[in-house]
Amino acid sequence: MTVDQDVPPRRSDRTRAAILAAARERFAADGYAKATIRAIAAQAGIDPSMVMRYYGSKEKLLAAAADFGLELPDLTLLAPAERTVALVRHLLDLCERNDTMIALLRVAATQEAAAERSRFLVANQIEPLIATIEPDPELARQRAGLLATQMLGLALTRYVLELPAVVAMSADELAAWMSPVLQHYLTGRPD
């Protein structure tokens, strides 16, 4: 028996998708603390009990809403000198088009589900990326963690704290400033 590719999604799939879309918008616009289950449900056009039925809690809803790929560039296809510039530009682009990334940054310091999701992204997306250019698993893990400190710090200061000097810089300027530090994390050794 073959599955018909034109079968419409089940109502529960549409409801989940509507909840996640509304949650992403509310978390990004209002932050975790101010986004309410009622507001998310109203935006999704459903009863608030349905949000709880599908996700159980606001914290679990945030974790589900923050389930996205970083779409990182393949570093093996780039010359070593181009890797860090590509990473900075990619991060800036991702933050510009993904409000959920910013919402996750806003609440990761205070909500365990967001912190766990952030750790998951580093462990399951950044570490494997670094492992493509660093054969030692322990060094790859360390390099990924240190790279994350800089990349998340840049995103936090530009998009959450909105430090004027960082906001005013162009992508080219940020890449020029950040690249030497990131390059050290990718290939350098501690002294």
SS (H, E, C) 140-162: HHHHHHHHHHHHHHHHHHHHHCC
Does 42 score more than 50 pLDDT? yes
Give Cα 39 to chain centroid, integer Å.
23
User: What is the Cα–Cα distance from 95 to 91, expressed in whole angstroms?
Assistant: 6
Cβ count within 10 A of residue 166: 18
Q: pLDDT averaged over the chain?
A: 89
Task: Name the pLDDT band for 4 (thresholds 50, 70, 90).
Answer: low
Domain parsing of the chain, residue ranges: 11-61, 75-187
Q: What is the pLDDT of residue 8?
A: 60
Does 177 score more than 80 pLDDT? yes
Q: What is the pLDDT of residue 9?
A: 62
The CATH fold of domain 11-61? Arc Repressor Mutant, subunit A (1.10.10)
Class of residue 46 by CB neighbours under 10 A (exposed 0-12, middle 13-18, buried 19+): middle
